[in-house]
Amino acid sequence: MASHSAEDPNRRDFIVILAQAFAGVGAAVALWPFIHQMNPDASTQALASIEVDLSPVKEGQAITVSWRGKPVFIRNRTAEEVKTAKAVKLTELKDPIARNEALPDRSPATDQNRTKKDKENWLVLVGICTHLGCIPKGQSMGDAKGDYGGWFCPCHGSHYDTAGRIRLGPAPQNLLVPPYEFVSNTMIKIG
């Protein structure tokens, strides 16, 4: 149709390109609200932080609380469990990164970096297997705790140690340490 070649564009070619670009950008802009509506909405994002009273949790016991619709594991570790967790060398870990939201991204996954100073018996973790999202077993007394004494995910067989670090199985990462702080000696605030 066009009698003018690409080397010799005329005003009509220019208008066609302009119109196409306009329509393209317009379509992309119009698409965004339809994509973004599926992201977590304002009410979901606003879900407040929670406070948890730790005083009823005796040494060796664990409780599970719900935060942002996810289970959070809180374990009062025995001295023995803390000792085993500390004895593990970083080179033995499948995921050597702390995965602690309070620390810089690349911090090493030492037991210290997974807990709060002077409160090392308390381990607070998002109780979601980093493989495909099942809830690992190990919270109740009678549960299988896996080969490393922490948690065991029955879905595809991931074993976590007493610091919630992945040791065996398909899960790629250590259990996440959520943002939390001690507001008093026996009370934490998660979120």
List of residues contacting ligand FES (CB under 6 A): 129, 131-134, 153, 155-158, 169-171
CA separation for the pair 82, 93 (Å, rounded): 16
Distance CA 102, CA 18 (A): 49
Binding flag, residue 103, another protein (CB under 8 A): no
Does residue number 50 form part of the binding site for another protein (CB under 8 A)?
no
Binding of residue 41 to another protein (CB under 8 A): yes
Using alpha carbons, list the distances in angstroms from residue 153 to 18, 73, 75, 147: 57, 14, 17, 11
Site membership for another protein, residue 66 (CB under 8 A)? yes
Helix (H), strand (E) at residue 177: none
Whole-angstrom distance, CA of residue 160 vs CA of residue 61: 17
- Number of chain residues interacting with another protein (CB under 8 A): 28
Report CA-CA distances (Å) from 151 to 51, 53, 121, 137, 160: 24, 23, 16, 5, 5
Under the criterion CB under 8 A, does residue 46 sit at the interface with another protein?
Answer: no
Does 38 sit near another protein (CB under 8 A)?
A: yes
In the bound complex, what is the minimum distance in angstroms from residue 152's beta carbon to ligand FES?
A: 9
Among 9, 24, 26, 40, binds another protein (CB under 8 A): 40
How far apart, in whole angstroms, are the C-alpha atoms of residue 117 and residue 125?
16
- Among the listed ranges 15-23, 76-84, 106-114, 165-173, the one in contact with another protein (CB under 8 A) is 165-173
Provide the 10 A C-beta neighbour count for residue 31: 10
Contact 108, 159 (CB under 8 A): no
- In the list ligand FES, another protein, none, the entry touching 41 (Cβ below 5 to 8 angstroms by class) is another protein
**Is 156 among the catalytic positions?**
yes
Q: Which two tokens stand for residue 95?
A: 């995921």
We find the least distance from the C-beta atom of residue 120 to another protein, in angstroms, to be 26
Could you tell me which residues are beta bridge partners of residue 48?
Answer: none
* 52, 109, 171, 188: which one binds another protein (CB under 8 A): 171
Task: Return d(Cα 52, Cα 179) in angstroms, integer.
Answer: 13
By CB under 8 A, residue 149 contacts another protein:
no
Pick the catalytic residue: 4, 36, 156, 159?
156
Query: Any idea which residues carry the catalytic annotation?
Result: 156
| Footprint on this chain of another protein (rule: CB under 8 A) | 35, 38-41, 44, 64, 66, 68-71, 128, 131-135, 137, 153-157, 169-172
